[in-house]
Amino acid sequence: MLHIILVEAELELIPKEIRNHYIIRKHAKKRGKKPSEMILDSSLHFRAMYKIDDFKRRGRPDIVFLSLLGLLSSPLNKTGMLRVYVHTRNDEVIFINPKVRLPRNYNRFIGLFEKLFVEREIRTKEGICLLKLIEMNIYDLVKKIKAEKYILMDEKVDININKLIKEFKNHNDIAIMIGAFPHGDFRNDYEFADRISIHKERLDAWSVALFVTDLYYFVKLL
């Protein structure tokens, strides 16, 4: 099994400090929603965000959207050998049912995840849980997954794709962590993980996620 953890994802509801900002109120009114039940999106809310810490990297649900669409439609997921988790900047973890069919449309994805943040889970009519959000930090998630090996994808270390292949061959249950933020460094220290780079330049999270997933499929199944 390959576990992909999108770590420190910049996915959150509009923080309290800016819920009263006129940009936010205007957008909430347009959508017929409460500001406290809307996901922060820097492409829409940037002019209100300068008041919050770390504002330059926050409000990037699109990174999670693109990564999840790619991962869930990957050949590895179709074989049932992939598990995906989203860990957020506020230490929540979203458990994703591998069979969930997420909206292909960004606005509908945002609507679904807003519902998830408010209701904490999304179920089918038959009661099957598709998405579940739990307050949990990355260390507790790691204890829960209990993989044999943890690797943090990090563009700042030496490129070593051979090591990645070796680790895939040597372990049946392996977890790969990928930063789901636009820039800056990891906020946790991940001392329990080895670090690997796959390219000399910084890549987008969704590109790294698909590279790793397809490589695992190739190594284990072809």
For the record, the structure tokens of 56 come out as 């330059």
Binding status of residue 153 toward ligand SAM by CB under 6 A: yes
Binding status of residue 162 toward ligand SAM by CB under 6 A: no
- Tell me the per-residue interface mask from 78 to 117 with ligand SAM, x by CB under 6 A, - otherwise: ----------------------------------------
Of 67, 88, 197, 213, the residue at the interface with ligand SAM (CB under 6 A) is: 197
Of 13, 193, 208, 215, the residue at the interface with ligand SAM (CB under 6 A) is: 208
Cα distances (Å, whole numbers) of residue 92 to 8, 35, 96, 128: 9, 20, 13, 21
d(CA 190, CA 142): 10
DSSP letters, 172-190, are SSEEEEEE-SSSS--SS--
Shortest separation between residue 180's beta carbon and ligand SAM, angstroms: 7
Report DSSP state, residue 156: T
Binding status of residue 179 toward ligand SAM by CB under 6 A: yes
Q: How far apart are the first and last CA of the chain?
A: 15
Number of CB atoms found within 10 A of residue 219's CB: 15
When the beta carbons of 117 and 181 are compared against ligand SAM, the nearer one is 181
Q: Which residues bind ligand SAM (CB under 6 A)?
A: 153-155, 178-179, 181-184, 197-199, 202-205, 208
